[in-house]
Amino acid sequence: VQVDGTIQAPADPSQIKAADQWVKFLYIDHLTLSGKGVFDGQGATAYKQAQPAAAWSGKKGNVKILMNLGFMFVNNSMITGVTSKDSKNFHVMVLGCNNITFDGFTVTAPADSPNTDGIHMGRSTDVKILNTNIGTGDDCVSLGDGSRKITVQGVKCGPGHGISVGSLGRYTTEDNVEGVTVKNCTLTSTQNGVRIKTWPDAPGTITVSDIHFEDITMNNVLNPIIIDQEYCPWNACNKK
């Protein structure tokens, strides 16, 4: 799939119903998504309307706040050259994928855009994020449960909340995270640098292991290295 123009989501979130992303790739082997194109989520209206806690829940009232791109059960695939812009929610969701690479990918959104994680993944193995520029309002890269053999290399992050493992441990159904390398990355004017975050009073009993952070450059980063075992945004949890 080659995209060289700009594809725009509806500015009004209520125009797309019963979906989590407005562009999805499902159950594909050997996908290549390339070009100079832009997936424009037109999130400005949603940013103004959304309270952070509402954006974080993925809903405003009964209306879902859509992510830009979804890759579900996509294997042996490459995303290169294209840009995700102003997503209303996460820019990219990677779920149940194996051997998927983002190379020369771009994410852009304002620093104050709520819950606009750049690339979020879960239940996926051998995900590579290479030579990618991510500037957004939340985590540049976030790793959910079941993330294995993950490489984040040559990524420029900022603005944003850094490169995060988690949040984890909130549910009993979660799977271990193992084999993560974050290397040769530069973070500029971000809230956090490299972060591992788990919920307090959480029922999950998973492990996070074999994590490597190497050759990370941080410029004007508030919390360069943070391991937070009482992650509790907007006090929406039990801290016991």
The tens digit of pLDDT for each residue in 166-217 reads 999 999 999 999 999 999 999 999 999 999 999 998 888 899 999 999 999 9
122-131: average pLDDT = 98
Q: Are 82 and 33 in contact (CB under 8 A)?
A: yes
Q: Identify the H or E element spanning 53.
A: helix 52-57
Could you report the per-residue pLDDT of 101-115, keeping only the tens digit for each? 999 999 999 999 999
Q: What is the pLDDT of residue 61?
A: 59
231 pLDDT higher than 60 = yes
139 pLDDT higher than 70 = yes
In percent, how much of the chain has pLDDT > 90? 82
Q: What is the pLDDT of residue 78?
A: 98
CA dist., res. 166 & res. 185, Å (int): 19
219-224: average pLDDT = 98
Q: CA separation (Å) from 82 to 33, 144, 173, 183, 202?
A: 8, 24, 34, 22, 38
62-75: average pLDDT = 89
The pTM (predicted TM-score) of the whole model is 0.95
Q: Are 94 and 73 in contact (CB under 8 A)?
A: no
Q: Are 53 and 80 in contact (CB under 8 A)?
A: no
Could you report the per-residue pLDDT of 49-62, keeping only the tens digit for each? 766 555 556 666 55
Q: What is the 3-state secondary structure (H, E, C) of 133-185?
A: EEECCCCCEEECCCCEEEEEECCEECCCCCEEEEEECCCCCCCCEEEEEEECC
Degrees (nearest 5) of the Cα angle 154, 30, 182?
A: 20
Q: What is the pLDDT of residue 59?
A: 65
89 confidence band (pLDDT: 50, 70, 90): very high
> Edge to edge, what strands does the sheet with 6-8 contain?
6-8, 38-40, 83-85, 106-108, 133-135, 156-157, 186-188, 217-219
Q: What is the pLDDT of residue 52?
A: 59
Q: Please name which of 138, 163, 140, 160 lies closest in space to residue 88, comparing C-alpha atoms.
A: 138
CATH of 6-12+20-43+64-225, one of 3.90.700.10, 3.40.50.720, 3.30.420.40, 2.160.20.10: 2.160.20.10
233 confidence band (pLDDT: 50, 70, 90): confident
Q: What is the pLDDT of residue 57?
A: 60
Q: What is the pLDDT of residue 60?
A: 61
Catalytic residues: 161
